[in-house]
Structure 1
Amino acid sequence: MNSPELVLDPTARRRAAEEAVLHAAGGPVLVDILGEAAWAIGDPDLLRQLLSDPRVSKDPRQHWPRFIEGEIVGKWPLYLQVSVDNMFTAYGQAHRRLRRLVSPVFAARRLDGLLPSIERNTAGLLDELAALGSGPVDLRQAFAVQLPVRVMSDLLGIPQSMRAPFKETIDRIWNTTSSASDALAATQDVYAMLTALIALKRDAPGDDLTTGLVQTPELTDRELVDTLLLIVAAGYETTVNLIDNAVVALLADRAQVAHVRAGRASWGDVIEETMRFAAPVSHMPMRYAVSDIELPGGAVIRRGEAILPSFGAASNHPRHQPPGTAGTFDVTRPDRSHVALGHGVHFCLGAPLARAEGATALAGLFGRFPAMRLAVPAASLEPVPSILGNGHLTLPVHLGTDGDHARPASSPVSRPRL
């Protein structure tokens, strides 16, 4: 590989500028992601093509020389994300086998059974928010974080005593400003907690997803714990950021809330536009070229080179929107297509759960607090320090009261001009 054209910022403060580079490139861009080189794909058509191409693997043990030669073990902060042994890093027949084994625990019947949990936990959190007064309240920590933590804990059968440590450890895993030693410590902690959860469910089975996986004999011990890790990490961070980003976009432009209240858009439309406008996960490492891949325009990704799906840039790419509108949040937009939840054989199994949580959360939140407003300008909100996750460090809002009147709509929220 040549020298990277772009060094990704682990603090996420340059995300808008990085996405602009990926948009302008018209093809793959060689980037440095925490010291490793990869071809970032921010073009939605090219990304869909590559994610459906059998010459693109997710298994570093077979197809990434840097991994095979031991160059990143204990050195790269994102080692955990690529070293797990589950569907996330499986390729070909191995992936088909794991997805076949795991898919039943995400069956529609089980997910439908979670709707009461989503509704109950949403209602409980809204009551807790109401007890806090008009604010300012950090809505990310008090609501956006708490809902998926509670729903995922119900889904997995995590006892109350383990819920707070789970949340704290998952936060550490997604923090890409951590040192290699801190990332290793977070990895060890999360494995210890998951191993303890598995032991608990073997001794006392329940009607939960963890028990269902424990009772799947075809899964090895490593596949079992790593599958749980995938479900916890993906089901938590994605939904937190989805709710967070939707609230910010809606409060920055109240005309969008008015569209929903007037029936011109649904809360489902809000969820899809949020994922298009600000995908909950910006980048997700890694894929690897099984053989040389010649791309339209003549570029070639060589065998063994890493590929970085840039879901954020690809989802808000301007090509499929009217000129000048892709960077504006619009719930009435005719085309809200995105790749925020993946594409192809690795499309997110938990997508229906994330969508249901997001729509229920937003409907309840804006129904209970119609005069809610941001306590600081949207432009001043600090991003979560992560190359991967796309959300805000805090989300301070004034909740208002039922008798308050909403402030007039401001100009539509847009991405910063560069």
Structure 2
Amino acid sequence: MTEMPDTTDDDRLVLDPATHDLHGDNDRLRAAGPLVPVTAEGVPAWAATRYATLMSVLTHPDLSRELHHWTGRDAMPPGTAIDRIVSDTSMLNAEGERHRRLRMPLTAAFSQRRLNGLRPRIEELTARLIDHLAEQPPDQPVDLRPEFAYPLPREVISELIGIPPAHQDELHRLTDAVAQVGDLEDSPGLRKELRELLDRVIEERRGTPGEDLITDLFELHEKDGGRLSEAELFATIELLFIAGHVTTVNLITNAIGALLSRPDQLGLLRAGQCPYSAAVEETLRWDSPIAYFPMRYAVRDVEIDGVRLGTGEPVLACFAATGRDPDQYGPDAHRFDLTRPQAPHLAFGHGPHFCLGAPLARLEGEIALRALFEAFPDMRLASPVDELPPIDTLLGNSTRTMPVILGPRAR
């Protein structure tokens, strides 16, 4: 049985947020074991590297997301991506009855009925973006991350939540940095500015009800005797706004790169031999929008896959690593294959913390990819995907750009 070794950070595998070879790093992590001692943004942790192991971590009753269980939290460097996630006070880091209380009001917002109502609007926004792309020179590079993959989920989540038009330009300027679009860099100061702006938006919306999530949550807050406290209400809306579009940007960007790099797979879509939903699911498996996600903490000493976790030790979820685990997906797990028999993946998590926005992300991805590839049948990459700069974050997995030559629009 393995225990967390009493070693310095020099003896651990160090996770590089700016790596140019995330999947190579993950191959090495999986080879090192199911739970591997790593250093992530200065934090010593166990990394859950394989599908079966991560499934155990996500569902184990003795592992919790509640920060107070982490015995080493006082040594965590401030201002990092890990710090932002583990200190979040929304349902993200709640467990048990508190988690159910915070999550339940949001289920209606992502219900199938709500999604069916959103579909025409998503299609309308997508068509507008396609029209804008068609106005660009067909033989010059166009970066599809800021021009297509990003604005669609941003606009959808803004409308779903109920962001007033007067604040959208400033809010978009700040979230550009969070999504690593444009020249503004993400930073603790920028996150503080974004939080303060969202707080102002929420306060202003108190007296202006509408058909949106902010209104729904305010009504619940008033009717249900404070089922959501004021602080919880604000934290919930902030979480949904940021988490509700940034990972979908990565999903659409990654799918475009995967398909344009593999004409045989794209041909299956265009010939109608595979549905666009298959492209979404295979991208989620093969190139997860989330690389690593913190943390779960051992509530007591526990053994997982022959590794002993001591009370209070943190575990990092390696979502991108599990998507290419040959023990789960076979010896060709590294291959992007739309004809692969549908197998479950963990890109949206599992169990009580399964991503609420998963159906919306899938719907946006399918609509966006179908519209893009039908509109530009001669589209090709302007640069190989493996030469594009990665986004500089431990959490996300994508490229900062996705330049293509669109070619003429289909008639």
Query: TM-score when scaled to structure 1?
Result: 0.90
Pairwise CA distance, 1:108: 2.2
Alignment of 1:328-367 (within 5 A): 328-367=335-374
Query: Paired residue for 1:19, among 8, 23, 26?
Result: 26
Query: Paired residue for 2:61, among 54, 58, 64?
Result: 54
Q: State the identity %.
A: 41
Q: How far apart in 1 are the matches of 2:349 and 2:312? A: 22
Q: How far apart in 1 are the matches of 2:163 and 2:355? A: 22
Q: How far apart in 2 are the matches of 1:282 and 1:164? A: 29
Pairwise CA distance, 1:113: 1.6
Contact 2:14/2:38 (8 A) holds in 1: yes
Q: How far apart in 1 are the matches of 2:43 and 2:373? A: 42
Deviations 1:337-395 (A, max 9, x none): 31001011100011000000000000000010011000112221111111111111111
Aligned to 1:279: 288
The SS at the match of 1:285 is strand
Q: How far apart in 2 are the matches of 1:12 and 1:303? A: 31
Aligned to 2:86: 82
Pairwise CA distance, 1:79: 1.6
Structure 2 residue runs without a partner (length 5+): 222-226
Q: How far apart in 2 are the matches of 1:167 and 1:238? A: 15
Residue 131 of structure 1 pairs with residue 135 of structure 2: yes
Aligned to 2:382: 375
How many residues matched? 394
Aligned to 1:302: 310
Aligned to 2:224: none
Contact 1:201/1:214 (8 A) holds in 2: no
Aligned to 1:388: 395
Residue 398 of structure 1 pairs with residue 405 of structure 2: yes
Contact 2:289/2:397 (8 A) holds in 1: yes
Pairwise CA distance, 1:399: 0.4
Identify the range of structure 1 (6-15 vs 237-246) with the bigger mean alpha-carbon deviation.
Answer: 6-15
Query: Paired residue for 2:98, among 94, 100, 116?
Result: 94
Contact 1:105/1:213 (8 A) holds in 2: no
Alignment of 1:221-260 (within 5 A): 221-260=230-269
Query: Paired residue for 2:202, among 185, 192, 198?
Result: 198
Pairwise CA distance, 1:73: 7.0
Q: Which amino acid aligns with 2:162?
A: G
Deviations 1:164-214 (A, max 9, x none): 333343354467xxxxx9733123112211111111210211111121122
Q: Which amino acid aligns with 1:342?
A: G
C-alpha change, 1:240 and 1:187, in structure 2 (3 Å) is same
Pairwise CA distance, 1:76: 4.1
Structure 1 residue runs without a partner (length 5+): 176-180, 405-418
Q: How far apart in 1 are the matches of 2:187 and 2:193? A: 10
C-alpha change, 1:290 and 1:172, in structure 2 (3 Å) is farther
Contact 1:64/1:304 (8 A) holds in 2: yes
Q: How far apart in 2 are the matches of 1:391 and 1:319? A: 24
Query: TM-score when scaled to structure 2?
Result: 0.91
Query: Paired residue for 1:63, among 49, 53, 69?
Result: 69
The SS at the match of 1:78 is helix
Alignment of 1:174-193 (within 5 A): 183-193=187-197
Q: How far apart in 1 are the matches of 2:410 and 2:177? A: 40
Q: How far apart in 1 are the matches of 2:145 and 2:405? A: 13
Residue 155 of structure 1 pairs with residue 160 of structure 2: yes
Deviations 1:113-164 (A, max 9, x none): 2112211100000000001121310010100011111111111121233223
C-alpha change, 1:335 and 1:110, in structure 2 (3 Å) is closer
Contact 1:56/1:289 (8 A) holds in 2: yes
Contact 1:12/1:387 (8 A) holds in 2: no
Query: Paired residue for 1:122, among 123, 126, 129?
Result: 126
Contact 1:316/1:338 (8 A) holds in 2: no
**What is the root-mean-square deviation in Å for CA atoms of aligned residues?**
1.9
Q: Which amino acid aligns with 1:294?
A: E
